[in-house]
Chain A
Amino acid sequence: MVDSKHSVDILSLLKKRTSFVSGAEIATTLGITRAAVWKRISRLRKEGYSIEALPAKGYRLAGVPEFSVKEALSSLGQLKTFSADNILFYPALASTNATAVEIAGTGCPDGTVVVADAQSAGRGRMARIWNSPPGVNIYMSIVLRPAIAVRDAAVLTLLTGVACAKALHHCSGTEISLKWPNDLLIGNRKVGGILTELRADPDRIQFAVIGIGINVNYHKEHMPRDISEIATSLAHESRMRFSRTEVFATVILQMDKWLNIFENHGKKPVLDEWLTLSSTIGKKVTISTHRGTLHGLAEALDDEGFLLVRVDDGSLQHIHTGDVTYV
């Protein structure tokens, strides 16, 4: 990771100047050879940075990429869980969750994030497809190794919903609501989804991989028809394009904040915030599971975050899982 750190240092050096910086000066400042400077400049260009080079003058930063996790992290300062060194960006992956599970299995640190510009096999719950075209959206998976009881792990999914809803609202000004457990909605349409995979020993979490997909600049006309009826994007709702870099940075910032709250104060503040952001409680709902469909009134969350539904025969059911639709 030394290499990428030097790339960040070159960037901050170039950003401080509006004019050219000589290769010699960069080399001396960072304590590396001019050949190494050239190598890292090439890498930055590959990542989408536009860097001018003139003989005898040196280098000048002329533009930053439309989506850069490096830019995102450099704007955030010191975080508790996340750092620029542990954010891995890929132009394309089969699935960020699959890659994150793989590297988590080989022992990557807590707070590692896998980000892709496109996915060829993005997936949702029950092996459903998550549409993942390039250039418009955010597909990311966060590896966490929380020191919490295995039975409390499911709260992470509500926490991620809270952090993402806050982040998307902050970036777009649009009202974002949560549908239990953690669908991100604008109005009645889905703007983002979260799928978490957990590996655990009986007494200890090995890792959780939290996959997040956010439709940022996804054009409605480019969505498959069955998706466009139920999905939307930030851009579609706000009639403007958003910086994926900024949206990503805000999601990371909110995740860092809420993980910290959870670690220090437990489940309650997470559940309380979820309740203020949710559109589910008080609604008539239909819940479909493999076993069938259930109708009732979504009354509350229990202490674990499970949905309490008053069904038609008057009994209160604890719902662990299932697709919730508002009636």
Chain B
Amino acid sequence: MELDEIKELMGLLKETDITEVQIEKEGIKLKIKRERRFGHVEMPHSVVTATKAEAAQPAVEDKAPALHYTTVTAPIVGTFYLSPAPDASPFVEVGSRVKKGQILCIIEAMKLMNEIESDVDGIVAKILVESSNPVQYGQPIFLVEPV
């Protein structure tokens, strides 16, 4: 077995979830073992998600990246608007830098306009609802990455 072959094998392994491979061939016994590269910060988060996710949500992978974000949820049932009027520009977009207290959107219920503010300084990472759509109480509407 050439060195190139071993290198190639290692490369292929990186693209998979496999962490350990053993090969016995022509008297050579090769064992490649890869440590899962979780950062110190992310590791405990993942553990927490897994337990939470088991209870209600099967989509563990979808939730995992959200963990270092702040999730903004809808405090009331209503209609979600990204702009103050149909022809106005949106309060924020993905990538917008927002300050704590800055308005992210409006949720309207029966002509009560609830202006939702960011509770952190950060960057809008994801808008989870399309404008003019209904939202339920407690539904996640934004992911904001604190800075």
CA of A305 to CA of B73 in the docked complex: distance in angstroms? 22
Q: Which of A151, A158, A182, A322 has a CB less than 8 Å from the CB of B76?
A: A151
Given that A154-B110, A198-B112, A290-B131 are contacting pairs, would A320 and B88 also be in contact in the complex, using a CB cutoff of 8 Å? no
Q: For the complex formed, measure the closest distance between the CB of A148 and the CB atoms of chain B, giving whole angstroms.
A: 12
Write the A288-327 contact mask toward B (1 if CB under 8 angstroms, else 0): 0111000000000000111000000000000011100000
Given that A127-B84, A290-B86, A290-B132 are contacting pairs, would A157 and B79 also be in contact in the complex, using a CB cutoff of 8 Å? no
Q: Is A197 an interface residue (CB 8 A)?
A: yes
Q: Is B1 an interface residue (CB 8 A)?
A: no
CA of A202 to CA of B88 in the docked complex: distance in angstroms? 27
Q: Is A45 an interface residue (CB 8 A)?
A: no
Q: Check B77 against A156 for contact (C-beta < 8 Å).
A: no
Q: Check B85 against A196 for contact (C-beta < 8 Å).
A: no
Q: Is B133 an interface residue (CB 8 A)?
A: yes
Contacts of B115 in A (CB 8 A): 197-199
Write the A181-217 contact mask toward B (1 if CB under 8 angstroms, else 0): 1100000000000111111101000001000000000
Given that A157-B111, A196-B113, A290-B132 are contacting pairs, would A150 and B86 also be in contact in the complex, using a CB cutoff of 8 Å? no
Number of A interface residues in the complex (CB < 8 A):
31
Q: Check B86 against A305 for contact (C-beta < 8 Å).
A: no
- Name the residue on A nearest B108 (C-beta): A321
Q: Check A304 against B112 for contact (C-beta < 8 Å).
A: no
Q: Check A150 against B78 for contact (C-beta < 8 Å).
A: no
- Name the residue on A nearest B79 (C-beta): A321
- Name the residue on A nearest B76 (C-beta): A151
Closest 6 CB pairs of A and B: A181-B110, A290-B132, A127-B85, A154-B109, A196-B112, A321-B79
Give residues in A with beta carbon < 8 Å to B.
125-127, 150-151, 153-154, 156-158, 180-182, 194-200, 202, 208, 289-291, 304-306, 320-322
21 CB-based A-B contacts, threshold 8 Å = A125-B108, A126-B84, A151-B75, A151-B77, A151-B137, A154-B76, A157-B111, A180-B110, A181-B111, A182-B110, A197-B114, A200-B114, A202-B73, A202-B75, A291-B133, A304-B77, A305-B110, A306-B77, A306-B110, A321-B78, A321-B111
